[in-house]
Every structure is written in structure tokens, then in C-alpha cells.
A = this chain, B = another copy of it.
């Protein structure tokens, strides 16, 4: 038995949240996932708290109207700045990406012994909120936070190793050397590196390569994976998925049979661009995408 018939809402400012959906799908049985990319108003990461709260609330309300019984805030910026407002406004469980990411980082650091310190890479707005530092502190973990505003445009433009040409990929490598070099100088005792933006899993190979070049091969933690596991736990705890997490995983077989039919995609801007870019993040083709106007 899985989360049969359950509708899970997942939203992000754009495509990045599809890395969370990608990890989520194998864990939630035959649930129906409704994804919204608020692409007309992206990026959230460079905007103010007030604006991000307003955008996150309208995105979440849209998904609730589409039947969501559990909400995944698959956007670090929206989680950092609007999770409390979302929990106040919605009568359903709300799972963000920050607490699960911080918990996974704490586990990884503890495995490696003392001085639990993690380096968190994220957008400007996420970093300025210090949401990761607070979530880590609550788990006895010290966080060094580093804003990396150019990584999202570099990922969206595909200036990445395998996709881009060598000259383009070397620009991304140079940007990573600047960001990681500065961050590791500020926090030489870091034990792990947490990807605090849903775009960054697409740079994981490049980040690991740069860490090795800098002589600091930190363990890289992907909050998308940690968030997917947290959602599965919420389903279990709420008795939505009978048989616990194992049961949820078992139900994955049913999901394979149902296939693409369990996902529905909405975007507030060009559906053509969403299909093209989104497939890169989801790791498989995005099917039908419906345009929605949130009044922005």
C-alpha cells in the first residue's frame, strides 16, 4: 500500500524544485503530484522577504485549490522566508527543504567526529535569512553560509560540464573556484557542504571536482534527497501511507506501472521553456504543462 489517491503539491519559483520531485517520486507510491513553477516571477532568490512571502502564498494556495493534501516547498528561498506564513495559512502539512537538509548535514558531520561545521551554498535571499544557520544550530551544528548568486543563471544556461562546451564549462569552474575558495578560507574547519538551492544538484559533479582541486574533498549533501525522505516520513506518521516507509517504497512498484500519469505540471510563464528546461532538472521528459495566471 502506498499513498493511494493522495495529492501532493510541490512548488518552486521555477525548475529547481523538479530536483526535489525527482527524488520524491520513487518514495510516495501512487500519489498524485501537482507541481507549480512560478516562472513568471522567478527568481525568488534575489527578492525581498515581503515579495517572496506574497509569491509563496499565492503559489501554495493555487496547489491547494488543485487538491493538494500535503505541501512541499521545493524552493530554499521560499522555505527560508515564508515557511511560517505558509504553515499558518494552510490547513495541511507543509514540508520545506531546509530542516531536512540541515538534519542530513548534521548526520554527515557526526559520522566524521568533532567540530561539526557545515558550509551552506545558497541564493542571496536564503543566505540573508540565516534560515540554514538557525536550522543547523538547533541540531548542534555550526553553519557557514555563502551566497552564490551566479550559479542559478549558469545552470539555467546549461554552462555545465557535460552539456556545455569546454569554454562555457570553464567559466562555471572558475566561478565555483571563486565562491568555494572564499567560503573555505572563511570556514577551513567545514566537514560537509550542503547544497542549499534546488538548482545546485545539477552542479554536484563540478562542485565535487572543485573541492578536490582545492584540496578539500568535503562530503556534499543534497537537500532534495533529504526532503524527499522527510515527505515519506510525514506520510507514514500521518498514517497516509500504511506500512511505514518500507510500505511506501514497496508501493513504488505501483508507481512504475502508473508512470507519468501521477504528475501534473503548471507554470506561470512559457510552458515551452518549462518543458525544455524542466526535463533537465526532472531527469526525464516533462509531459504536458499547463499555463496558469496567478495575477502577477
Contacts and interface: CB of A to CB of B under 8 A. Distances in A.
Contacts of A167: 174, 177-178
Given A170-B174, A174-B174, 9 more contacts: A41-B296, A48-B269, A150-B150, A150-B153, A167-B174, A167-B177, A168-B178, A295-B296, A296-B296
A273 interface: yes
A175 B296 CA distance: 32
7 contacts: A41-B296, A47-B270, A149-B153, A150-B150, A167-B174, A168-B178, A296-B296
A36 to B, nearest CB: 15
Interface string A133-162: 000000000000000011001101101000
A268 to B, nearest CB: 8
Q: How large is the interface on A (under 10, 10 to 19, 20 to 34, 35 or more residues)?
A: 20 to 34
Interface of A: 39-41, 46-48, 51, 149-150, 153-154, 156-157, 159, 167-168, 170-171, 174-175, 177-178, 268-270, 272-273, 295-296
Contacts of A296: 41, 295-296
A152 to B, nearest CB: 8
Q: How many copies does the complex hold?
A: 2
A51 B269 CA distance: 6
Contacts of A177: 167
Contacts of A47: 39-40, 269-270
Nearest to A181: B167
Contacts of A175: 171
Contacts of A171: 171, 174-175, 178
A150 B178 CA distance: 17
A76 B148 CA distance: 27
Nearest to A165: B178
B270 A51 contact: yes
Q: Which 5 residue pairs across A and B have the least CB separation, nearest first? A: A48-B270, A296-B296, A153-B153, A40-B51, A51-B269
